[in-house]
């Protein structure tokens, strides 16, 4: 018997936004929320021309390489997470939003962080005026 998925419906909000609308529906099903305007920017949508479906591959690297957080006391799970997640920083049992920018981690605080090779950057450091 066929299984029907509960995929949210988002109508296309602008000319050429067919692909952003489709991606928004898939992401919504997976529990991620993004606007079609945000997706259109990431997918390099051309007004009135649309976007080649091959541009979806641009989304693969979004957010990769930066910071990943796990909250658990299970040491085996922490080690598995560290091996499998493509991130330059693995934080354990700590708030991500404050720690990833360098607060209380020993890194120079900065709102700009390199994602390393996972994210297509040349550095995994906090990017500040102090980098020489």
* pLDDT tens per residue across span 59-117: 665 656 667 778 889 999 889 888 887 777 777 887 665 555 656 666 666 666 666 66
User: Could you tell me the pTM of the whole model?
Assistant: 0.47
Enumerate the β-bridge partners of residue 68. Answer: 90
Place of tokens 């550095």: 123
- Enclosing domain of residue 74: 65-119
Domain match, 69 and 115 both? yes
Whether residues 85 and 112 fall in one domain: yes
pLDDT band for 53, please (50, 70, 90 cuts). Answer: low
Question: Are the CB atoms for 89 and 64 separated by under 8 Å?
Answer: no
User: Looking at residue 104, what is its pLDDT?
Assistant: 61
Any domain includes 126: no
Domain annotation covers residue 130: no
Residue pointed to by tokens 């021309």 = 49
Q: Angle CA(38)–CA(116)–CA(100) in degrees, nearest 5?
A: 70
Structural domain count of the chain: 2
């Amino acid at each position: 018997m066929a299984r029907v998925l509960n995929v949210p419906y988002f109508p296309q909000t602008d000319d050429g936004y067919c692909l952003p609308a489709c991606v928004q529906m898939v992401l919504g099903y997976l529990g991620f929320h993004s606007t079609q305007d945000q997706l259109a920017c990431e997918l390099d949508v051309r007004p009135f021309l649309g976007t080649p479906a091959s541009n979806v591959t641009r989304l693969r690297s979004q957010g990769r390489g930066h910071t990943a957080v796990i909250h658990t006391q299970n040491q085996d799970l922490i080690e598995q997470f560290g091996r499998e997640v493509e991130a330059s920083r693995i934080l354990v049992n700590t708030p991500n939003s404050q720690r990833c920018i360098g607060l209380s981690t020993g890194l120079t605080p900065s709102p700009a962080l390199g994602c390393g090779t996972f994210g297509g950057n040349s550095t995994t450091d906090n990017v500040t005026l102090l980098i020489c």
